[in-house]
Amino acid sequence: MRANRPTPVRRGHRLAGIVAAAALVLAGCGTSAPPTVTFDVGGTSLTAAPTQFCDNQLQNCRDDANARLTADVAPGTPVTITVPEEVSSAPWQVAFAYLGPDGKARTDGRSPIATPGQRTEYTLTLPDPRDRLVTAQVQLFGPAPVADPATGQITFPVRATWVLVSGG
């Protein structure tokens, strides 16, 4: 009777197995879902995936125009935005647009920039309770700001955005 002996593993097969396992682990790291942001509108919590999400070097980007949220935001309704640690650990801000009480004059604005670790929440309240929100966009900044050589203006590269559009 022959004893059952383990089958010898050739060095090349073992190395190939290790390389394949490492590739699977690394591939899993690159496919993790990007962070989500929460928009609270009048007590209704809405979770948004990013419409754009890039790595820190702005090399690998994913775009999803269908990720934007649409909600009826009544005039005078504040919108509370909550970001996860993945966003709050970098500089971020809220860019927004609204219509004045006449419903015609559009104003664009920006929140102060939140420095890394400063805050995870921002409440957007428009100046006049009759103002109507058009859009609110969380912007996660990427690499360091750069100056445009032609104009001298500073450009802040945005690597990710989460968008709420008001339908009402």
Q: Tell me how many degrees the CA angle 10-11-16 measures, rounded to the nearest 5.
A: 100
Specify the pLDDT at position 73.
Answer: 96
Q: What percent of the chain has pLDDT over 90?
A: 68
3-state helix, strand, coil in the chain (%, to 5): 15, 40, 45
Question: Average pLDDT over the chain, rounded to whole?
Answer: 84
Question: Average of pLDDT values for 18-27?
Answer: 32
> Domain residues of the chain, as ranges?
37-166
Q: Is residue 14 over pLDDT 80? A: no
Q: Is residue 92 over pLDDT 90? A: yes
| Integer Rg of the chain from CA | 23
CA nearest to 113, candidates 51, 46, 158, 149: 158
Phi, psi of 28 (to 5 degrees): -65, -35
> Burial, 114: exposed, middle or buried (Cβ in 10 Å; 0-12, 13-18, 19+)?
buried
Q: E-assigned strands of 49-118?
A: 52-54, 61-63, 69-71, 79-82, 92-99, 106-110
